[in-house]
């Protein structure tokens, strides 16, 4: 019995959206990667996926990375190993779904990810972070909003998408917030007194009835445009603006502030498991990218205790 691969792909996308609760952007990405695989390999049925097909597709992906076949390549003719792995992860998840449905296809265990180098963290110094947080000046609504955004990001370690989804009626009486993160999972984050003050000052200045915590400010800089909650891209532009204003030459994004949140905790003695929970990482392996931040402490220990017999 043949199984039309495009129909199965559509069923898989509906499955991860409805039953797995994946975000629409994630579903779109899976669709992109799988469609490109199916179209490139000219597949019609699930049983057409073989080791040879996978090997040929991986070879094609890798040649994209080296700059060949530029007509089919990613932006700038490059395709990094990390990006290649997105294709493979999507394909492996699709094959797992087929196996669950008892559809004859290649075993997902046949898909091995490409080896990538150690992830590099983009960080700013403590002094740069301080300048960034202090960059929004004045009592205008926009400045108060932007100050609240920066303080809340550093206080909680929220993802930018989580920040954008916060409602206006958050409870500032306690020290914690419940947020819905990746995979529709709810976790608790904690908010500092400084962040609470910044958010309260901003909310006290608002006279609109909008539901979003952070929204666009109208042209007169006094009113919120009630129907336009800030997007992730808007937040990125805001942070870039204040990074330049603070004299920071490095690229600063919401995720850089999230990195600062994690490294600040670890540098001050927090354990990795707690940081994992606060960041909302499903796998502690993701959190382990921050462990080298404590190398300065290891250096101190080495200097203090190594070869004391001399």
Question: Active-site residue numbers?
Answer: 159, 182, 255, 258, 281, 290
- Structure tokens, 176: 């914690």
Contact between residue 6 and residue 43 where contact means Cβ atoms under 8 Å apart: no
**DSSP conformation letters of 19-86:** TS---HHHHHHHHHHHHHHHHHHT--BGGG--HHHHHHHHHHHHHHHTT-SGGGSSGGG---HHHHHH
Query: Which of these, 98, 114, 116, 118, lies nearest to 106 by C-alpha position?
Result: 98
State the number of CA atoms in the 13 A half-sphere of 217 facing the CB.
16
State the number of CA atoms in the 13 A half-sphere of 264 facing the CB.
18
Q: Which residue has the tokens 């301080």?
A: 130
Query: Which of these, 80, 63, 81, lies nearest to 72 by C-alpha position?
Result: 63
Q: What are the C-alpha distances in Å from 239 to residues 8, 43, 76, 220?
A: 42, 44, 26, 21
Residue 248 backbone dihedrals phi, psi, to 5 degrees: -95, 120
To which H or E segment does residue 259 belong? helix 254-267
Q: Which residue has the tokens 């204003």?
A: 245
Residue 3 backbone dihedrals phi, psi, to 5 degrees: -130, 110
């Amino acid at each position: 019995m043949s199984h039309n691969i495009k129909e199965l792909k559509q069923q898989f996308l509906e499955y991860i959206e409805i039953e797995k609760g994946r975000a629409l952007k994630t579903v779109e990405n899976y669709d992109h990667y799988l469609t490109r695989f199916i179209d490139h390999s000219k597949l019609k049925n699930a049983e057409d996926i073989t080791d040879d097909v996978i090997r040929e597709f991986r070879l094609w992906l890798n040649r994209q990375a080296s700059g060949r076949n530029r007509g089919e390549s990613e932006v700038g003719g490059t395709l990094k190993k990390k990006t290649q792995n997105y294709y493979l992860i999507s394909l492996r998840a699709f094959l797992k779904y087929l196996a669950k449905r008892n559809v004859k296809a290649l075993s997902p265990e046949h898909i091995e990810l490409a080896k990538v180098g150690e992830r590099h963290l983009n960080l700013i110094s403590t002094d740069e972070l301080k300048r960034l947080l202090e960059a929004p000046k004045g009592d205008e609504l926009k400045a108060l909003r932007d100050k609240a955004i920066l303080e809340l990001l550093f206080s909680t370690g929220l993802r930018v998408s989580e920040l954008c989804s916060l409602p206006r009626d958050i409870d500032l009486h306690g020290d914690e917030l419940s947020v819905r993160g990746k995979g529709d999972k709810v976790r608790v984050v904690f908010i500092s007194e400084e962040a609470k003050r910044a958010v309260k000052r901003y909310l006290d200045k608002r006279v609109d009835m909008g539901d979003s915590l952070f929204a666009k400010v109208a042209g007169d800089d006094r009113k919120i445009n009630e129907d336009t909650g800030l997007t992730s891209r808007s937040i990125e532009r805001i942070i870039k603006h204040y990074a330049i204003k603070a004299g920071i030459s490095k690229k600063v994004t919401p995720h850089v502030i999230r990195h600062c949140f994690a490294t600040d905790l670890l540098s001050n003695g927090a354990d990795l498991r707690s940081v994992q929970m606060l960041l909302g990482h499903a796998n502690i392996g993701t959190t382990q990218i921050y462990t080298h931040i404590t190398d300065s402490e290891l250096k101190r220990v080495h200097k203090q205790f190594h070869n004391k017999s001399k």
